[in-house]
Amino acid sequence: MNYKIPGLVAAAAVFLLSGSALAQDTPKYSYVEAFKPFFYPQTGTETRSASGQPGHAYWQNSADYDLNVSLNEAKNEITGTAEITYTNNSPDQMGFLWLQLDQNLFAKDSRGNAVVPASGSRNGAHGEELEGGYKIKSVKLDGKDVKYTVTDTRMQIDLPKELKAKGGIARIRIEYSFISPEYGSDRMGIQKTKNGKIFTVAQWYPRMCVYDDVMGWNTLPYLGAAEFYLEYGHINANITVPANHYVVASGDLLNHKEVYSKEENNRWEQARNSDKTVMIRPESEIGKNKASGTKTWKFKIDHTRDFAWASSPAFILDAAKINLPSGKKSLAISAYPAESAGEKAWGRSTEYTKAAIEHYSQKWYEYTYPAATNVAGNEGGMEYPGIVFCHMNSAGEDLWGVTDHEFGHNWFPMIVGSNERLFAWMDEGFNTFINELSTKAFNNGEYYTKKNIARAGGFMMGDNLEPIMVGPDNMKERSIGALAYFKPGMGLQILRESILGPEKFDKAFKTYVDRWAFKHPTPWDFFHTMENVSGEELNWFWRGWFINKWKIDQSVKDVKYVNGDFKNGAQVTVENLGQLPMPTTVQMKFKDGTNQILKIPVEVWKRNTEWTLKVNSNREIDEVMLDPDSMIPDVNMKNNIWPSAQTKTVEKVNTKEFAGTYGTKSDAIKLVFTDKNGQLYVKAGNQPEFPLEYAGNNQFTFEEAGITLTFSKDKKDLVFKQADREYKFTRE
């Protein structure tokens, strides 16, 4: 689904542009908390391996549908019969079945209506008065009436005898009807145009709830914000509409010779072999079809979790072939009204559709459906298998963005069937991430603008947002755009570009898609897979970015020249102030115009809150900057830069003057000082030697241990101080 909220966009703009104004109180970093073990709540099971792949005994149930439906254009009414073949592959017997009746969201007394605030919402029917929701005429099991109970958007069917485990089959037949809302929670609806209504039809038939090895029956009600969790199967649909309508739908049209004219069929054949868009039904032919009565369009789609369709007398239709990596072909189709026509608008829809499908097929997993259809309606953007609904007024960059996003959903969650009711970020966030790569690839980056991730830190890690792992029904509606789309999408971008690197990330991410195609992964399956395939420990990242809302704040704490002379090199101290550690990139800019890049791996932060880098250089520093390419979000960017004006001036020192052995009368321990190329080292007794940093006024420090050594002016004595202990040594 496409998420655009003016308030969110405006807020984001303020945050992203202000950057330094985002400084917040950041909780103190604890490396023990960040990297503590036992992140995973359970070890591997028979159904889900600890490696992140389906276990040796993985199972999931299936649901096949034969759907017959008719559209009453005058009444906006859908009347249908759903014949469901449900197979119980689980090891459990079942005494009842649960189905989703999502159309009941639009009933006046629905829970979804009850949670719409007085200020309004994207969800629901936008205040439209209608007798919404299903009217159930009959429910039969194996041809006989059966007891059922409807509770809000769920139906429970009581079985006369238990459905057998490991292959038991239930055959359900439901007769129903409902009035379509004009605005159906931004997922379906009715758009009026000068040439007739456009019906975009979804959540239109009773669908089986998922029974899985994690929750058993998944029966969360449909409240509008959270999307869907569905079983896979095969769907046949016979759609009867007024004879002057044109229908597009999920899957393959089986009776195209019956419903299209001879000329239209010829154009379809041209489109199937054309990389350029072919006009099937041009604007000039709208209104010429004066047929009365009805016409039935027949479709079929395999290995699918859902089915949607659209019908209108106003459609312009065009298409072009989609080239898939295996050599197979699919078909990009666009259906839109005359108001949306033109090369600056929907005239490029098929081009966009083709490019998106081909990119994702090449990059992640081959597209599995015979067609990909983009429909202009009144939805901001909504996805279904093989078909998406995008707003008829979208054009240019906006139309590319929404088309690319909605078809990206054919990978998440149409192919990888995660639980959208609970984990919106596993489809919206993953999709937002892959959209960034596809937009960069499309037409040499026609619509691509590189984002300044660093400046997004204050917004994405703000105190007003809930954690990502909160379900969409459990967060403020204004937070959904950030937490379901942008923050998880950005998290994957950080993981790819700054933590794992593109090669390791892409291999692991593709493996995740391969493993869980047409299955039901959890967040833990994703986390396990990414770690096992990449070979990297990532619990600190999952814990901070997804589970909690930890902040990132890294700082250049100090810059000093060794022994006060830039010709001896410099020591740069970086601090990890925020709760979430990150690999750190340090850029040194020198006054001669040259640069030097230094890398700090995340493992440094496993037992340190700050780290000092030795810069081997004989050049004077102009500036030290963290994250010069703006790849890591940071809540306080002010402390990411250290200008030369802040460099502490320390007088130059000849470390050879301090070399020698010092001892005390009261203790056998001796301190042996050695000069090594301008760096003073000290060895205490049998302990390993360690380097000292000159602090001025004949004083040296070793900050890791809190040690200060102050020499007398004549170098004959020194005072060793650590915490509140102080010892005097004399040169021997």
Co-location of 685 and 635 in the same domain: no
Q: Is residue 563 part of a domain?
A: yes
State which residues form the domain around 703: 655-731
Boundary (domain end) residue, out of 629, 646, 663:
646
Helices (H), 223-368: 256-259, 262-271, 349-363
CA dihedral 338, 344, 345, 347 (to 10 degrees): 70
In a domain, 620, yes or no: yes
> What is the reported pLDDT for 20?
37
CB 183 within 8 A of CB 391: no
CATH number at 635 reads 2.60.40.10
* CA–CA dist 247, 169 (Å, integer): 32
- Looking at the structure, do residues 667 and 714 belong to the same domain, yes or no? yes
**pLDDT digits over 305-314, tens only?**
999 999 999 9
Predicted pLDDT at 12: 35
Are 624 and 680 contained in the same domain?
no
Task: Establish if 39 belongs to a structural domain.
Answer: no
Residues in the chain where the model's pLDDT stays below 50: 5-24
The span from the CA of 457 to the CA of 475, in Å, is: 20
- Residue 647: per-residue pLDDT: 64
Residue 326 vs residues 230, 270, 365, 385, 576: alpha-carbon distances, Å: 28, 21, 11, 20, 48
Q: Give yes or no: residues 619 and 689 share one domain.
A: no
CATH number of residue 660's parent domain? 2.40.128.50
Q: Which residue has the tokens 């629901």?
A: 124
- Is there a single domain that holds both residue 620 and residue 663? no
Asked if the structure places residue 624 within a domain, the reply is: yes
Among 626, 646, 666, the domain-final residue is 646
Residue 698 lies in a domain: yes
Specify whether 659 is located in the same domain as 628. Answer: no
HSE toward the beta carbon, residue 272, CA cutoff 13 A:
10
From 592, 612, 646, give the residue that closes a domain: 646
The count of domains in the chain is 2
Same domain for 593 and 626, yes or no, is yes
CA–CA separation, 307 vs 235, rounded Å?
Answer: 7
Residue 416: inside a domain: no
Same domain (yes/no): 628, 670 = no
pLDDT in tens, 539-566: 999 999 999 999 999 999 999 998 888 9
Do 633 and 709 lie in one domain? The reply is no
User: What confidence score (pLDDT) does residue 705 get?
Assistant: 78
What is the C-alpha separation between 140 and 590, in angstroms, rounded? 80
Asked, for residue 508, whether it belongs to a domain, the answer is no
Q: What is the pLDDT of residue 4?
A: 58
What is the structure's pLDDT at 13? Answer: 35
Question: Rg for the chain (alpha carbons), in Å?
Answer: 32
**What are the CA-CA distances from residue 13 to residues 18, 48, 375 (Å)?**
8, 42, 30
Q: State both tokens at 466.
A: 């809930």
* Residue 540 lies inside a defined structural domain of this protein: no
Distance CA(459)–CA(14), nearest Å, equals: 9
Res 706: pLDDT: 82
- The verdict on 640 and 682 lying in the same domain is no
668 and 600 within one domain: no
Q: Tell me whether residue 196 is exposed, middle or buried, using C-beta atoms within 10 angstroms of its C-beta: 0 to 12, 13 to 18, 19 or more.
A: buried
